[in-house]
Amino acid sequence: MTALKIYNTLARDKQAFSPIEPGKVRMYVCGMTVYDYCHLGHARVMVVFDMVQRWLRASGYEVTYVRNITDIDDKIIKRAVENGETISQLTTRFIAAMDQDAAALGVQKPDHEPRATAYVPQMLGLIGQLEQNGLAYKAADGDVNYSVRDFPGYGKLSGKSLDDLRAGERVDVNTGKRDPLDFVLWKAAKDTEPEEVKWSSPWGSGRPGWHIECSAMSCELLGEQFDIHGGGADLQFPHHENEIAQSEGAHGGHFVNYWMHNGFIRVDNEKMSKSLGNFFTIREVLQTYDAEVVRFFILRAHYRSPLNYSDAHLDDARGALTRLYTALKEVAPDGAALDREEAHARRFADALNDDFNTPLAISVLFELANEANKTKSAMLARQLKALAGVIGLLEREPQQFLHGAPGSGDAATGAAQEAILAQIEERIAARAAAKKARNFAEADRLRAELLAEGIVLEDKPGGTTEWRRA
């Protein structure tokens, strides 16, 4: 089995993974800003780094996985004020919704899920250290800013020079800043803002800037230097660039060894975004598609590549996942433990050790499914189920997936679903009775009716005892 290699954004190359502490991995991933329902871009971050931490643990590492929650932010304040509710009411509601979405997608809870509002003292300490090191200053407008030109390494993650950044249009010009590139560490309180977003500080009442939150939380929970920092590609600049400037500017030394960034979700070859109106929340998609289909759709693309969203692609993912579950329905696994030395298992591991190449790993699952179907080997079926389980797939009973209603996900239980299943079974029985009475027209009608509803009957010599969703 090959050793793990990770594409390090900082090095712009795949590098052999060597943790700071042998056998242990400390990983931080930027989480959600909780003012609205999570969208498919959030789903990709959650699923990708869930897969990463699963594989690290399966490889024998002791993992400490931190994914933060941003529960104080301009957008949160604006939305709460618009809704006429408190910040905590808004964020509590959307954290609960985020947890529901993540659980549906098979995303395991991180070891730590810090909320920014609980770490303001650590943020103040970090800002104070930056001020002491000559990298932070209080502006005339009351904000405390980071002096970018006083940190020599600024731009090393994004690969941009200060002059290139200075010429860019994305940096807001603020008259309180010494340089337009400088970013805010502490925002002075405004009279119009709710009292619950105002904290006391040596620089006056205010609240933290976004970037300082992650530097403070990661340092507190993982230390001044840790192994892996992940997030979406949109965070590479300025958020992660600013994290490096803050953390290394305050503590000296090296902040993170491996930076990982997942690619964008695209719709019609454009980045999915609210501004373009091509925006889909996770729960909207789960109304139509099983949650495991969405997880499979995300994992069968390489995490660094763009992921093109469309109903056609999700339909294709549903069909592919159905083939895998059908193989397990036809050949029951033997129940033994995963054989890591078996040829398919070794190829699966080699794929994931090559920068988490899930498309190649999933192709191994299809090889196993095909061979299990041909040979009726319970050992191969076991390898299929066990390897898929490593990345959070094929963990249900085959019939549960194959009989599940579209969009039902793991919530396909309860009286409503039971009633739907009972109705399907009644019509299958009625068709069997019609065939026995040689009323083939009625039997064909019932088959066509079920097919129109997405129910595929599987006729066998003993009669129709099996069915699945199309």
Which residues are documented as binding site for Zn(2+)?
30, 214, 239, 243
Name 329's Cβ contacts closer than 8 Å, sequence gap at least 6. 398, 399, 402, 466
Residues at the binding site are 30, 214, 239, 243, 274
Annotated binding site for ATP: 274
